[in-house]
Chains A and B, each alone.
Chain A
């Protein structure tokens, strides 16, 4: 199966572990991901202003590239890219007036009507591959590993682009169950990590991220799985600051969901680029005999 793939900026550098592990898993599942040629930054956040159409141009250009490559679906891995592309697509599909303005403005491009389907890898696995097929490829189940699924905001809100129910999502739960992990449900799974407030209000972002991690561990999680490079930055890269600042803060290994998938599928560990994770992430996998060396 061939499908168009939109990586987004972060996945080529800081978040490359998300990309390499995902592509390796896709290979194992017989999915040929064709990276779009000449893709550009999606803008990271969808414009929430009714009078601001210029920020819709970048994601729409990417969607036009999908069509030009002969595809009608595109997969994303970064959940912020997913949200931005999917919302821009919804606008082009349903708002005739704005669609016309944007198409007129981009007169060097073919007109676009929102007819590409934007998917995140998680809903693609659920709806187009199926958990049974994924399970067939699991050679090293994550048995006894207590993992909390963290959804964050952009996969679940707003409703028109949500890949699951906003209040009680299941998709990542099912995903982790399929990999053989012990899934730890916790209320913080749908709370915001503070996102871009790491620039504007870094202390506030640190606190909300800390609240999520302590919620996960108090429910018995020994690790957290996530889908977004910004959530990863807030909860993994800034965890040392939490450990220093908050009494009782505990070390929590953090993984991209695709890294856990790659390990469960027996994909060589190099594809996971664990050097970008916290050291505890590799240690936990070693303690479960899922990674050797």
Chain B
């Protein structure tokens, strides 16, 4: 769907926040799509990583607030290794996640986990999952 990009819809505070948390200059992204082509989770994303980058560049905070992609990202760092602009996209995805999680919003509810999963899963799954997906 077409989005209106104008001074009215650009959220500059959001852009500053992403820059502060990630330490990355996302304006360097030139939309080549290498990240999208490298992501192992591509078929499960609602926005390609390239599109996430474009939405950040234009400060489209509302679109990113409802996006699934940052929460499907597994922080595997493949995009970061391959980005021709040297951007660390994993840090940018983390920043988008944190903008939401820091409002005390959980992506997954630990209390909803199935008891058999809790019994079976290794600690490293739970610790990393809670770190990435809960507030």
Contacts and interface: CB of A to CB of B under 8 A. Distances in A.
B128 A80 contact: yes
Interface string B83-101: 0000010110011001000
Nearest to B23: A50
A153 B77 contact: yes
Interface stretch (B4-12, B40-48, B57-65): B40-48
Contacts of B126: 199
B105 interface: no
B123 A14 contact: yes
Interface residues on B, range: 35 or more
Given A13-B123, A204-B41, A233-B121, A195 B76 contact: yes
B108 to A, nearest CB: 5
A49 B127 contact: no
Given A44-B128, A80-B128, A158-B77, A201 B72 contact: yes
Contact of B132 (A9, A13, A196): A196
Contacts of B122: 10, 13-15, 229-230, 232-233
Tell me what chain B mostly uses at the interface: helix, strand, loop, or mixed. helix
Contacts of A44: 123-124, 127-128, 131
B124 A10 contact: yes
Contacts of A180: none
A40 to B, nearest CB: 12
A49 B125 contact: no
A159 B81 contact: yes
A269 interface: no
Contacts of B132: 45, 196, 200
B128 A45 contact: yes
A49 B128 contact: no
A49 B91 contact: yes
A78 interface: yes
Given A199-B126, A200-B72, A200-B107, A192 B20 contact: no
A192 B76 CA distance: 6
B44 A204 contact: yes
Nearest to A209: B40
A96 B90 CA distance: 23
Nearest to B127: A44
A102 to B, nearest CB: 17
Nearest to A188: B40
Contact of A195 (B22, B98, B121, B128): B128
Interface of A: 8-10, 13-15, 41, 43-45, 48-52, 55, 78, 80, 153, 157-159, 166-167, 190-192, 194-201, 203-205, 207-208, 211, 228-230, 232-233, 237
Given A8-B124, A14-B123, A230-B124, 16 more contacts: A10-B122, A10-B123, A45-B127, A48-B91, A52-B98, A55-B131, A191-B76, A192-B41, A192-B76, A195-B76, A195-B128, A197-B41, A199-B108, A204-B43, A211-B40, A233-B122
14 contacts: A41-B127, A44-B124, A50-B91, A51-B20, A80-B124, A166-B81, A191-B40, A195-B76, A200-B71, A200-B72, A201-B72, A204-B41, A230-B128, A237-B120
